[in-house]
Structure 1
Amino acid sequence: MDIVWWSMIILLFVLGFAGLFLPILPDALLLLGGFALYDVVLGKGVIPWSFWITAGVITVVIMVVDYVAGGIAARKYGGSRAATWAAIVGAIVGLVIGPIGMIIGPFVAVVLVELLQKKSIEEALKIGYGTLIGFLGGVLFKGVLMTGLIIWFLVLVL
């Protein structure tokens, strides 16, 4: 029976990592689900509180990064305050389109907002590019955090 539970745990982990690129999947929450499933069914509470607290904080950080990475990068590349909010709104609206929308949404929203702010097309595209870099950097950052949690979990349970 353990193999069934481990299969479900691994599936949650795989779906969590798929969530890095498929915004419809709640990446970090799926990892937490896998950890909880193990702890309740197989581990019988062996995972220490320090892990749960850290995993909870990292989950919140990952969720925040999902929405603000593009906006922060837009500001760094010279975007207006409105560009920061446009990147967040573009990411949310992009969810409707799917994975490509999550990338294109913030880019397009930031470029349009910057053009409305009377910036040149070159400047607006540069800021949009910065937003794209921020999104991809966010994916990398989240992937590293999630990989660290998986490694820590495996060290604890194996």
Structure 2
Amino acid sequence: MKVEEYVQKAYQCILQNDFEQAVEWFEKAISAQPDHAEHYFRCSVTYARSGRLEQALTYAEHAVRLAPHQDEYVLHLHAQQARQLTEKARKMLDVDKTTPQLHRDAILLLEQAIALDPLCGDAFMLLALIYDELNEYKLAVQAAREAAALFPHNVQLANLMKKLCQQMNEQI
């Protein structure tokens, strides 16, 4: 089978929402053409769609190593890095008792995520929640506004914005 056929089969699987099988076909394309950055990039996107962040990041890094000037690959890599940092911050805060140091560490991770991917709405949302917990309502509102711009129909976020604005008004 030719490499183009592997890629074609992968796309057919994606259209059927069979990301696991699509990854297998992209892996075959990579085996056949290990220096072809596009295959790593497409495989990374497929891993990301199926929620397998570690693999998505690994393949995105490989694509960028092979084609460092391909903007699409670099942006995708940054998005995967931002997702990973956001997830790491979320896990840090999932402990029974969060400390001020954990909050600061999580904020730093989220700021790094946002610097890598300014469209990482989850990072903005989590940042708003942390600032709310810290009673830093002005910062919480700023982060929530950014998240709302990215998720305009999110009811939970709208409720958070309303709550934050009320709390801010009560502080004045």
Q: TM-score, normalised by structure 2?
A: 0.31
